[in-house]
Structure 1
Amino acid sequence: MTGATVRRPPARVAIVEDHTLFADSLDLALTMEHYEVRRVSVRGTNSSLASVQATVLAARPRIVLLDLDLGHLGDGARLIAPLAAAGLNIVVVTASSSRARWGECVHLGARKVMSKAQPLNEILAVVRKLSRGSVVMDVAEREALLHSWREQRGEKQRARARLERLTRREREVLGLLVEGRTVREIAQQGVVSEATVRTQVKSILAKLEVSSQLAAVGLAHHVGWATPDH
């Protein structure tokens, strides 16, 4: 009919969020704006990232509001690439303030990354734009986040290269330091003198280019270094 207004069905939005109160707030606000909301549970003991991914895909949402910290399921960032590849618009809403981590999400395919500290209206504004097919991140913001991610990735690669310099025994000692063992405890476990362990620790610090045991442990945690089996 000429002049008739064609109404589009409401956009479907999936919420993948570990924090119940925050998810409730999103659900209520979106429902009041007539979006079709699908809550995806991440708390079940039998749930996994694979099951969450399958549930989201089965719901066929246009937009996914995704948290990064999914409790026992781990890092929600692992869902970004497969969901984005399926054509879904991923908006990461996170408590993390790490610009490098935000940049990683953009690299993986997120359309936008937002802080949970931002007003709810700002999150809704992004959903509205995506539902209209509008751009939600300008080139400058995207490049700045990707730059932060690339810088951190480079730092981690250089740190891992330094960790590769360690001998087998030095890796064992560093692993024990990461576990919180003292020099005395490491010496007793290895049936060696404390002086020997201190010499090994000194070598570890030199190879990792750090000035303290605490910094060495921090570097290992920063790159996700896996401690060797003792």
Structure 2
Amino acid sequence: MIRVLVADDEPLIRAGIRMILTSADDIDVVAEAANGREAVETARSNAVDVALLDIRMPVMDGLTALAELGRAAPGVRVLILTTFGERDNVLRALGHGGAGFLLKDSAPQELIHAVRAAAAGNAYLSPAATRHVVDTLASPAATLRGEEARRRLADLTERERDVLALLGEGLSNADAGARLHMSEATVKTYVSRILTKLECENRVQAALLARDAGL
């Protein structure tokens, strides 16, 4: 069972998140917090696998709490949840060791998927957040140069390159499937195959390669 801490200063938001997460058989919301400081103290004293933190909270914001959790409870995987998709917030969250960044207008199933991914030790970024990261970090200093990226992409099939290009645009599996006239499950299979071939740990790394290679 994945044990989750939900931190948001709005009780209705916390209740909604709890309802969504507990609808999954493998997730249990074991604690709640109304601000970042409370979240850090709660995570320190409770067995928590994943902490879901809102960015804008009183006393201590979510990004500061993320940094504090890295020291107080390093085993807790942190997902940042917010209505604000500015790229600097995304980059700060990743820089502080966040497991992912999810926008509050994401679909309920995406929230569940993100928690599962974080608990499994994987990074998760919503498609919108991925677009911000790719735009900001796709530079020679931050990613492989174009020549090296194109060399790594050389072993991909034409269809795999099509899927990868859409990852670079920040599309979800469902949206990529609609664009390519494939089922979501088929796209998921392609993504898994692409990550293996490119030796990438997650979709963001693959998206950066796609951008650097000029897809």
TM-score interval (norm. to shorter):
0.5 to 0.7
The reply on whether 1:130 has 2:118 as its aligned counterpart is yes
CA distance in 1, matches of 2:23, 2:86: 32
Aligned length: 134
Query: Which deviations, in whole Å up to 9, do the C-alpha atoms of 1:74-111 show, x marking residues without a partner?
Result: 42210112213412110001011211111111111111
- Return the TM-score normalized by structure 2: 0.54
- The higher relative CO (CA closer than 8 Å, separation ≥ 6) is in 2
Instruction: Show structure 2 runs of 5+ residues with no match.
Output: 138-215
- Aligned partners of 2:49 and 2:76 also within 8 Å: yes
The reply on whether 1:28 has 2:19 as its aligned counterpart is yes
- Determine the structure 2 residue equivalent to 1:52: 39
RMSD: 3.0
Instruction: Show structure 1 runs of 5+ residues with no match.
Output: 1-9, 43-47, 150-230
Query: Which deviations, in whole Å up to 9, do the C-alpha atoms of 1:14-44 show, x marking residues without a partner?
Result: 10111222211110121121322123232xx
Deviation of 1:131 after TM superposition, in Å, equals: 2.9
CA, structure 1 residues 122+51, in 2 after alignment: closer, same or farther (shift >3 Å)?
A: closer
The reply on whether 1:115 has 2:106 as its aligned counterpart is no
The reply on whether 1:84 has 2:70 as its aligned counterpart is yes
- Return the TM-score normalized by structure 1: 0.50
CA, structure 1 residues 137+37, in 2 after alignment: closer, same or farther (shift >3 Å)?
A: same
Deviation of 1:52 after TM superposition, in Å, equals: 3.1
CA distance in 2, matches of 1:80, 1:131: 16
CA distance in 1, matches of 2:118, 2:81: 15
CA distance in 2, matches of 1:136, 1:13: 16
CA, structure 1 residues 115+25, in 2 after alignment: closer, same or farther (shift >3 Å)?
A: same
CA, structure 1 residues 143+128, in 2 after alignment: closer, same or farther (shift >3 Å)?
A: same
Secondary structure, aligned partner of 2:84 = coil
